[in-house]
Structure 1
Amino acid sequence: MTDVWSRRAFLTAVGGSVVLLGTPAFPATAGTVTSVHAAMRAVWQGLVLGSVSSPTAEPFRTRLTALGAQAGQWRSSMAPATGSLWPDQVFTTNPEWMAQSYYRLRSMAEAYVRPGTGLTGDAALRTAVLTGLDHLHAQVYNAGQARYGNWWCWQIGAPQALLDTVVLMYGQLSAAQLTAYCAAVDHFVPDSSVGSYTGTSTGANRVDLCRVLALRGVVGGDDAKIALARDALTPVFPYVTSGDGLYRDGSFIQHTYVAYTGSYGSVMLGGLGMLFGLLKGTAWEVTDPGAQIVFDAVEHAWAPFLYNGLMMDAVSGRAPSRGVQVADPLQAQLDDHTRGHSVLAAILLLAEGASTAERTRWRGLVKGWTARDYYGPPLSDATQSLSALARLSEVSADAAVTAVPEPVAHRLFPSMDRATHRRPTWAASLSMASKRITHYETGNGENLRGWHTGSGMLSWWGSTYGNGQYSDAFWPTVDPYRLPGTTASRKALADGAGGDWGASRPDVTWVGGTTDGEFASVGQHLKGLGSTLTARKSWFFLDDTVVCLGAGISSTDGAAVDTVIDNRNLGATGAHALTVSGTVQPATLGWTASFPGPGWAHLAGFGGYVMSGSGTFRALREARTGRWSDINRGSSTTVLTRRYLTLWYDHGTNPAAGSYVYQLMPGASAAQTSARAAAGGWLTVLANNPTAQGVAVGSLGFTGVNFWQAATIGALQASAPCSVTVRELGDGTAVVCVSDPTRTLSGLTLVWNRPVAQVLSQPASVVSASTGTALQLGFGSFTALAGASQVVKVRLG
């Protein structure tokens, strides 16, 4: 599986153009190098380095100076020896240090060719880079070496860094060196590595392998390699129905069971942009019409998870555990914002190969995200490559580009058990798990305590507040048993519990829901990781609230079970006031209290919570300490402290039939929260039990029911388990949305006991429809519909 250092290091290697230092001095003997190959090397160097508008202007001046200083330090500390190039990177048993050594050489080469680093054209630096390349080739990365350890280091990480360095230093290398380096790449990345679309040669990994093959072909003058790289991209483009890749609903999966839009998906997006740019205008230009699926996915798959410049953790696999890495020379913070910035830069790169309309639209999207990211401004992001900064800076300064605002929409991603909800002043994401999607991913010593992220974690951000909620050392300091929105047993779990690479998948199928594109009903049959916990959880996403229901909460582990209403990260010093049912509570650390329901709470600076059920809810204000190395063995050991305000339902030890009802109201004032709690008729809970969970909000014309079994709930009757969302609109019409999250139904009858005059539109899945005093819909098989909402529009009687 993927190495943390190498994958992260290459996540942002995208950019524009720059002038080459030096000219090719020797032709490679690995093939016939032509002017076409030379031109392609120049294009690649431009993609890698980017168009820095002025080396003396910010944000470039500081970064170029830092690059030069770092390159000088690495030059001074380089000490070629048996098994290492630098004393701190012994690669005899761990190939990750071999790959890291190549990355250092790549950065040194970049400092050599870039103007403004202070080492531009420096002879001693050039000698150090060439010495390092020869030493690594002689010691470890050569055609006679057997592979050991992490496969990714040999087939993707090291060869990408090596080939980039070769392109940057091409005019300084001899024919013998080029031949030897090409032979090493051929040895570890043979043509057979893309022979079948299976195993480690799918999705983002396949794009990375094609990048290696294409650049190897360019460097060595091997046209067949370039053609192979282009052709091997073909299976990446089509929608998939299982395993790795893009799905029709916008899901992106890697490692078979992991939602990975924000990490591997970002790599794939950037990698395709690089390859499209390299091959454009050549005999190997990508003309496969399937590539349009990738262009469509920018807004269909990636944009829904970008908010104010951040990329939601829900679709970033184990990446949220990386934080500050020991191997990062500048100790730069990695978080949801830095991952988001990488995607923004990748979108701009891909835009160069898109249609004029797509390019214009995407540049507007990126400009909007960049301008709104007040928490982690992209142009100040030390983790981004200079090429990424160049692209982001250029679009931000372009007065002809109009920033596009955040959308108002709900999106369901049934194929990866995720949902996003976007309102005018806030956004939320939901993470679930099923037989299809893992509770969490761990591996390579990463994300060791992400156990409960798939147990209904509900994350949210305000448009002008709370954007650092999960960025500010949240993951190493939060109580991993009390992630917001989750229902979880407090039974102690070992680091990495459940197994590596997505092994921790619960044996459940009813996970999903329905949406009309703005509001939604989403549900999860929950089975806890490493425990006997079972529950039914539902979320109804509305205009200013998320209504959260839980029922049938049971466990026999001898451990307490909590449902976490919210767990707010208040930062290192935050003391935000908590008001419960009109009374301001103490701000003292260590304070805890219980409150009888129903009731309400308001947390200053964040929003409100309305606890409608009768159960007791609790509150805790605490300071928690942790280290990134606690959850990721390759990370910083610095001790961090953050303050938290936690609200939760304590279902007790071994609950038999626990339940809850509450509303989350992002951005609401105390007065708005109090008013909602007092408005007893605003929300009607139609059912909250193991048979069904449903609510109705008359003022919104909304009814949502998740049927766990066949039942009649209010005006809705379902003949089998399903999810139903009904919206009565102001123009005398209504939409009825139906789905089968289990993907097993061969048929379904749904009755809505409401006078309906006419069916205006229906999907092919409807095999019969009758109107009159009630609407009766007959559906055929759902097995091939992948959990998608089937939307029927009617005119009311």
Structure 2
Amino acid sequence: MEITRRRLLSALSAAGLLTVIPTRPASAAATAAGSARLLANTVAVFAGTAESNARPETAAKLAAIDKAARANLQSMDAAGVGELFAGLALGTNEANLNTAFRRLYEIALATRTLGAALSDLYENTAVQRRVIDGLVWLHERYYGDQSKGYYGNWFHWEIGISQHVSKTLALLSDQVQAYRPDLVRTYVASMDAYLRNGIDGDVNLDSRFHTGANLADITTNRILQGALLADDARIRKALTDQLTVFATIDPYHLDHGVTDGYYADGSFIQHSSVAYTGSYGKGLLIRVVQTLKILDGTGFAHGEELVPTVYGWVKNGFAPLIFEGWMMEIVKGRAVSRTDTGYTDVAAVVEAVTDLSSLASGADATALKSYVKHIRSTSRTALDPAGFVSPVSIVRYADITDDATVPPGDLNPASRSVAFNAMDKTVHRRPGYAFALARSSERISKYEYMSGENLMPWFQGDGAYYLYLSGQDQTQAYGVDYFTTVSAPGLAGVTAPVEQRRTIPELYGKPYYDNPGHPLNFTSSSASQNTYVYFPRGTNRHSGGAVLGAYGAAGWVQSDDVPYRDKGAGLLPDDFVVYRNATATKSWFLLDDEIVVLAADVGDSAGRAVTTTVDARTAAPGDQVTVTGSLRDGRPWRGTGTGDLQWLRYANDTQGTAVGYVFLDTPQARVALDTVTRSRRVVRTSNPDTAVTRGVFGITVDQASGAEPAALAYALVPNADEARLRSYADGPLKVLANTARLQAVAHTGLGLTAANTFTSGRHEAAGMRIDGPASVLVQRERGALTTVAVSDPTMDRDTVTVLLRGRPLREVASDDGVRVSPVPGGTRLEFDTRQAYGRSFMATLRG
């Protein structure tokens, strides 16, 4: 069930979408009954039910709820004058105020959570009224006066605090009504007043702050508030606003200028241009599933109509990005610098998928349950359901994992290549490994930095890639410790100038650039801060690729970022620091056993020295690591140094993993194996000052300052042994072209030819003529079948034309928008790529 945002918004008053929201407002009695059910559902979601809490699987969760509440109550007991909680200073720090409201929520939650360990807190009226008194106290002193509030981060005032308050009032609604019946309206009025990026205290779909995951959070808060007030209109308006996040973004017909959300190819974007499935996308998934649960049986909406859409997010948006229970780094934005691991990210997704399976039906429900079991069976770290939000979800998870009739099943086929072109990312999966590539462009940010998080992000969208190996604990390979111990310009896949760069706090003495007097109005949450500091985009148009079955190709032109361009144009303040990038044109060809990487025009127009990192891998200090290989003259290679390599093999014998590197046409490479110790605080100011040590392996190609641009061609061979690597001297890989105009390879064993073209004009490669920039894969199979896939990586071409030379071929099948015609000397294929947003088009031919 895929709906474009344009169709959804235009259909909100039409019959189709009114199957989600009933046509007529409910009567007063129906609204009251529906509101009561909604509040009861909310209590069940967060506090569990008598049935769920009686199950042994929820014991750890109930104990955690109890522990948090008791610690918070002790802190209240120890509070001094002017404090609600001991040591939590209020009045100037909005994060502390948010924490105070969260602690009250945690106490309220314990009083509504039935369980043996909570006997003296459950339904404890005195404790509940203490929470209510705390809400009154905070409102009177630090929240109710809007002229004194709204300092610091907008998120706390518009979303975070409202979320804690709304849930607390929902949990204690009966006691609030009996004890302080005016409190709900008092708080709702204040929460509306703090919605300053809205319109008259309500959502503003034209606001860049009210999109995607943020919009889902705001509207869920407002649904709860509407239930507390038994206000049918408020609930219906919040639901109508939230429905917009279910719509597939149509980039050619944006509503309200919003680019945040899910795209047809499975991409998810937040903050206008950041690839964010693994953080904000995860948050959106969690929130909408929770909303569907609290709406169940209320009469306000028929959430089952939306379940197939959310299932599509999981299958095509999340599943490709989860490898053996780990969320890939390429879609986490600034969250890559946090100490939470990719396994923790996936555990939150598993809870949402578990609950979604209870809302789905038929084959979809079965597939979701199978996927839950698949993640559990393949994850290298045991998933702890005690970390789930809901005790009910814990029970559902236990029922799924204990159900022998549900086999584990991945939502990915065993071999899958995915071009997330809408967010400039590529994922390639095979049994035994997964490869993830981060690109950027004038559409998509090079990286995300914000609030002292991800302090050294500069090259994360510049062709950085991650090769995940099966069976390995990924916390030992990637995660925060990878970015802590591997240098920023030394990330795998990156071409970077040799220079020192400084972090934002080092440059400006605070976590943002502050210059409100400049015409661009640089403040902590201004649009200019986003454009030039937090998540700058590239300046290149060429970033994308094609998929043919389970094979793929991606092409990308490295560029400077928008700040460097605009500083040169005199648009930025004199003290604003920018950095110039190196140059490169790159292709990645994604096969079965190999990922072939070509790079041309590798250098620096400013004459600086440049390094290109073939790979960077980390290992625990005690791991047994070996490096072996062969020089082109046949001499064996072992260990580190610089040489003219033919192949190299890195093996972590402790982890049982290995990666091979075949140097098809590459200058001398430098191999290093260092022990690096750094504090996790180097990548995030709020991380604990914990020193981590890793063995860091790196292969780089170094170019001296003033050197001519270079070309590189190599292949990554996951899980390769030495015999396999030696065999590449006889094929099957062949580099057909490697220039800034054309990059192409052939794999004789697969009958596959793949090419990326980067310039206008005609390009000749292996019996093909390609007009203009394009990504093309051609596979010739036995039985005279030829399959062609094409995409437009610039996303601005109307037509891409490919001529296959040789005898004419006839069309067997093709996608809409593909025209096949015989011409003298071959077969002409025209692909209508207008407004396809990088989508691949396929044609199957016979001759």
Q: TM-score, normalised by structure 1?
A: 0.88
Measure, in 2, the Cα distance between the counterparts of 1:337 and 1:534.
35
Offset of 1:756 from its aligned partner?
4.1
In structure 2, the CA distance between the partners of 1:384 and 1:221, relative to structure 1 (3 Å rule), is closer
Offset of 1:656 from its aligned partner?
2.9
Q: Is 1:600 paired with 2:601? A: no
Amino acid at match of 1:363: K
Equivalences for residues 161-172 of structure 1 within 5 A: 161-172=164-175
Offset of 1:149 from its aligned partner?
2.2
Aligned counterpart, 1:484: 492
Q: SS state of the match for residue 262, structure 1?
A: helix
Measure, in 2, the Cα distance between the counterparts of 1:288 and 1:36.
17
Q: Is 1:159 paired with 2:162? A: yes
Equivalences for residues 457-472 of structure 1 within 5 A: 457-468=464-475, 469-471=477-479
Measure, in 2, the Cα distance between the counterparts of 1:567 and 1:321.
17
Q: Is the 2:831–2:841 Cα contact (8 Å) retained in structure 1?
A: no
In structure 2, the CA distance between the partners of 1:235 and 1:489, relative to structure 1 (3 Å rule), is same
Offset of 1:786 from its aligned partner?
0.5
Measure, in 1, the Cα distance between the counterparts of 2:810 and 2:263.
33
Measure, in 1, the Cα distance between the counterparts of 2:82 and 2:423.
42
Choose the corresponding residue for 1:366, options 372, 375, 400. Answer: 372
Q: Is the 2:593–2:718 Cα contact (8 Å) retained in structure 1?
A: yes
Q: Percent identity?
A: 28
Choose the corresponding residue for 2:419, options 393, 409, 412. Answer: 412
Deviations, residues 192-236 of structure 1 (Å, cap 9, x unaligned): 532424311111111111101100011222111111111112322
Q: Is 1:776 paired with 2:828? A: yes
Aligned counterpart, 2:218: 209
Larger mean CA deviation between 637-646 and 347-356 belongs to: 347-356
Q: SS state of the match for residue 140, structure 1?
A: helix
Offset of 1:654 from its aligned partner?
4.2
Aligned counterpart, 2:273: 257
Offset of 1:522 from its aligned partner?
0.6
Aligned counterpart, 1:307: 323
Measure, in 2, the Cα distance between the counterparts of 1:52 and 1:664.
54
Equivalences for residues 321-332 of structure 1 within 5 A: 321-323=337-339
In structure 2, the CA distance between the partners of 1:441 and 1:135, relative to structure 1 (3 Å rule), is same
Amino acid at match of 2:104: L
Offset of 1:188 from its aligned partner?
2.6
Q: SS state of the match for residue 552, structure 1?
A: strand
Aligned counterpart, 1:109: 108
Aligned counterpart, 1:392: 397
Q: Is 1:792 paired with 2:808? A: no
Measure, in 2, the Cα distance between the counterparts of 1:719 and 1:244.
33
Q: Is the 1:234–1:288 Cα contact (8 Å) retained in structure 2?
A: no
Choose the corresponding residue for 2:241, options 232, 240, 245. Answer: 232
Aligned counterpart, 1:439: 446
In structure 2, the CA distance between the partners of 1:436 and 1:789, relative to structure 1 (3 Å rule), is same
Measure, in 2, the Cα distance between the counterparts of 1:475 and 1:50.
39
Q: Is the 1:520–1:540 Cα contact (8 Å) retained in structure 2?
A: yes
Measure, in 1, the Cα distance between the counterparts of 2:608 and 2:393.
48
In structure 2, the CA distance between the partners of 1:82 and 1:663, relative to structure 1 (3 Å rule), is farther
Q: SS state of the match for residue 504, structure 1?
A: coil
Q: Is the 1:623–1:643 Cα contact (8 Å) retained in structure 2?
A: yes
Amino acid at match of 1:745: R
Larger mean CA deviation between 539-548 and 657-666 belongs to: 657-666
Equivalences for residues 566-645 of structure 1 within 5 A: 566-581=615-630, 583=636, 585-586=638-639, 592-604=640-652, 605-645=657-697
Equivalences for residues 57-456 of structure 1 within 5 A: 60-78=58-76, 84-114=83-113, 115-118=115-118, 120-121=121-122, 125-126=127-128, 128-142=130-144, 144=146, 146-173=149-176, 174=179, 175-189=181-195, 192-242=201-251, 243-286=259-302, 292-323=308-339, 334-374=340-380, 376-379=381-384, 382=387, 389-405=394-410, 406-407=412-413, 408-456=415-463
In structure 2, the CA distance between the partners of 1:567 and 1:196, relative to structure 1 (3 Å rule), is same
Q: Tell me, which stretches of 5 or more residues in structure 1 are unaligned?
A: 1-29, 324-333, 587-591
Q: Give aligned pairs, total.
A: 748
Offset of 1:565 from its aligned partner?
1.5
Q: Is the 1:441–1:500 Cα contact (8 Å) retained in structure 2?
A: no
Q: SS state of the match for residue 202, structure 2?
A: helix
Q: Is 1:535 paired with 2:534? A: no
Offset of 1:37 from its aligned partner?
2.0
Measure, in 1, the Cα distance between the counterparts of 2:129 and 2:201.
35
Choose the corresponding residue for 1:516, options 530, 534, 548. Answer: 548
Q: SS state of the match for residue 466, structure 2?
A: strand
Q: Is the 1:345–1:391 Cα contact (8 Å) retained in structure 2?
A: no
Choose the corresponding residue for 2:786, options 734, 742, 765. Answer: 734
Q: SS state of the match for residue 481, structure 1?
A: helix
Offset of 1:180 from its aligned partner?
2.6
Measure, in 2, the Cα distance between the counterparts of 1:683 and 1:37.
65
Larger mean CA deviation between 180-189 and 610-619 belongs to: 180-189
Aligned counterpart, 1:550: 599
Offset of 1:584 from its aligned partner?
6.7
Larger mean CA deviation between 489-498 and 243-252 belongs to: 489-498
Deviations, residues 516-536 of structure 1 (Å, cap 9, x unaligned): 130011111012552241101
Larger mean CA deviation between 496-505 and 647-656 belongs to: 496-505
Measure, in 2, the Cα distance between the counterparts of 1:546 and 1:65.
48
Measure, in 2, the Cα distance between the counterparts of 1:51 and 1:567.
49
Q: Is the 2:108–2:128 Cα contact (8 Å) retained in structure 1?
A: yes
Aligned counterpart, 1:562: 611
Q: Tell me, which stretches of 5 or more residues in structure 2 are unaligned?
A: 1-27, 252-258, 508-512, 514-528, 562-578
Q: Is the 2:440–2:543 Cα contact (8 Å) retained in structure 1?
A: yes
Offset of 1:69 from its aligned partner?
2.8
Q: Is the 2:789–2:843 Cα contact (8 Å) retained in structure 1?
A: yes
Q: SS state of the match for residue 104, structure 1?
A: helix
Q: Is the 1:378–1:392 Cα contact (8 Å) retained in structure 2?
A: no
In structure 2, the CA distance between the partners of 1:253 and 1:305, relative to structure 1 (3 Å rule), is same
In structure 2, the CA distance between the partners of 1:315 and 1:465, relative to structure 1 (3 Å rule), is same
Larger mean CA deviation between 233-242 and 199-208 belongs to: 233-242
Q: Is the 1:521–1:725 Cα contact (8 Å) retained in structure 2?
A: yes
Q: SS state of the match for residue 620, structure 1?
A: strand
Q: Is the 1:321–1:475 Cα contact (8 Å) retained in structure 2?
A: yes
Measure, in 2, the Cα distance between the counterparts of 1:554 and 1:159.
51
Choose the corresponding residue for 2:748, options 698, 703, 713. Answer: 698
Aligned counterpart, 2:518: none
Q: Is the 1:561–1:654 Cα contact (8 Å) retained in structure 2?
A: no
In structure 2, the CA distance between the partners of 1:421 and 1:49, relative to structure 1 (3 Å rule), is farther
Computed over aligned residues only, the root mean square deviation of the Cα atoms, in angstroms, reads 2.7
Q: SS state of the match for residue 240, structure 1?
A: coil
In structure 2, the CA distance between the partners of 1:756 and 1:363, relative to structure 1 (3 Å rule), is farther
Measure, in 1, the Cα distance between the counterparts of 2:82 and 2:755.
63
In structure 2, the CA distance between the partners of 1:694 and 1:54, relative to structure 1 (3 Å rule), is same
Measure, in 1, the Cα distance between the counterparts of 2:307 and 2:51.
31
Aligned counterpart, 2:796: 744
In structure 2, the CA distance between the partners of 1:429 and 1:87, relative to structure 1 (3 Å rule), is same
Q: Is the 2:270–2:280 Cα contact (8 Å) retained in structure 1?
A: yes
Offset of 1:183 from its aligned partner?
2.9
Offset of 1:391 from its aligned partner?
4.0
Offset of 1:170 from its aligned partner?
2.8
Q: Is the 1:45–1:167 Cα contact (8 Å) retained in structure 2?
A: yes
In structure 2, the CA distance between the partners of 1:429 and 1:389, relative to structure 1 (3 Å rule), is farther
In structure 2, the CA distance between the partners of 1:557 and 1:383, relative to structure 1 (3 Å rule), is farther
Q: SS state of the match for residue 443, structure 1?
A: coil
